[in-house]
Amino acid sequence: MSAADSPGRVRVDPEDTVAGPEDLLVKGERSSSTIRFAPIAALEGLVDTGRTVFVADELTAGFVRRLAGDDRIAVVPRGEAAKCLASLDGLYERFLELGVGRDWTAVGVGGGSVSDLAGFAASTWMRGLDFGFVPTTLLAMVDASVGGKNGIDYRGYKNLVGCFSQPRFVLVDPALLSGLPGYDLACGLAEAIKHGVIEGDGHLTALERAVAADGAIDRGALAPLIARSVRLKASVASADERETGDRRKLNLGHTIGHGIEATTGLPHGACVAAGLCLAFALAVERGGSEADARRVGALVSRLGLPAGLEEARRGSPATKDLSPAAFRDAVAAAAGSDKKRVGSDILFAFPMAVGDVRIGPVALEELRDFIRRAP
């Protein structure tokens, strides 16, 4: 048995993902998604602009205004505020106003929240439209736009309403990141670090080399890092579209991370970073690698992201005045509502070592107790 095939490891087979010289393919049960690395101008060759509605926020609309004017742009809120029933209803209303039919295409242009909302709206309008994504943040490029999971939040719970449906295409243009602030890039790298932990040492080492001692990110290194993350996720999602096996490993850092996000309102990537470090801490209690836990924690801290609960509490205006105990109680309550809950257990991704992530049940009360005492 090779290292790639040993328990806890995800095998990445290039022949399973490559659709063309520069493209990757995510295979779904009903359709497949082509991930194309190209300038945004290539969008003109992917859609009929006369029958395309572009879903964007007030900033990302500027990337496609030349193609659509304002006539076929549906503007939605920025950030997590886009992922709610009110935004979905507003988008449906815009579809109706434009006369969007089953021969149209919907294109989500923006960060992960925009693609989640646009993909869900397109998948449910008239029982399903053709759709695609143009991610404009690092987090969306490496994670949110790839894999066919679409959805919205409901009553404060992350991604509770959604579907599995593949976009026809994802157009990745790293040049769109040129104006993105360093902190936003760091938050995006949190998901890439997760991928590095899943795949193994070579992937994680490449990420470490792209981050200077002072936390500065080598923007010139982003394109190959994005491609590597996308390749990993494309392979995993193709093998397990509906998240019944290895795809659960992509939830690494998210169970506690989502609880932190619901409590603090910090950016998703920052919360995943804290959740990843906490997942390592819990894995160490079960025999996981302390050295790898320190290694990942050091990289997260170098990026200026929270490496634990206390740093997340202090870093949020919403929680900095809460007592540590009250904060942990709130995170524990939110984490207990995770959609991966099965009875009194939660299916948890344990990073036993870099390249060795295992899925196993953890009792809800055990998880809550850990959160109440974790750093």
The single residue listed with the structure tokens 């010289």 is 21
Separation CA 36–CA 174 (nearest Å): 11
List the 105-110 sheet strands across, edge first: 23-27, 32-37, 169-172, 130-135, 105-110, 52-56, 73-75
Structural Rg of the chain based on CA atoms: 20
Residue 366 is among the residues annotated as catalytic for this protein: no
Query: Is 195 one of the catalytic residues?
Result: no
Set 191, 199, 241, 261: catalytic member: 191
Tell me which residue of 149, 145, 171, 371 sits closest to 255, measured CA to CA: 371
User: DSSP label at 11?
Assistant: P
203 catalytic, yes or no?
no
Q: Report CA 297 to chain centroid distance, whole Å.
A: 19
Which element (helix H / strand E) includes 368?
helix 364-373
Q: How many CB atoms lie within 10 A of CB 218?
A: 11
Catalytic member of 94, 194, 231, 254 = 254
Residue 149 a catalytic site member: yes
Catalytic residue among 36, 194, 251, 295: 251
Find the catalytic residue in 199, 241, 243, 261: 243
Give the Cα separation of 278 and 213 in Å (integer). Answer: 23
- Which member of 194, 233, 295, 328 is catalytic? 233
Q: Which is catalytic among the residues 247, 249, 328, 358?
A: 247
Residue pair 136/63 in contact by the 8 Å Cβ criterion: yes
Does the annotation mark 243 as catalytic? yes
**Catalytic position from the list 36, 72, 149, 249:** 149
Please, what's the largest Cα pairwise distance for the chain?
Answer: 58
Given the residues 9, 194, 231, 268, the one annotated as active site: 268
Active site residues: 127, 149, 191, 233, 243, 247, 251, 254, 258, 268
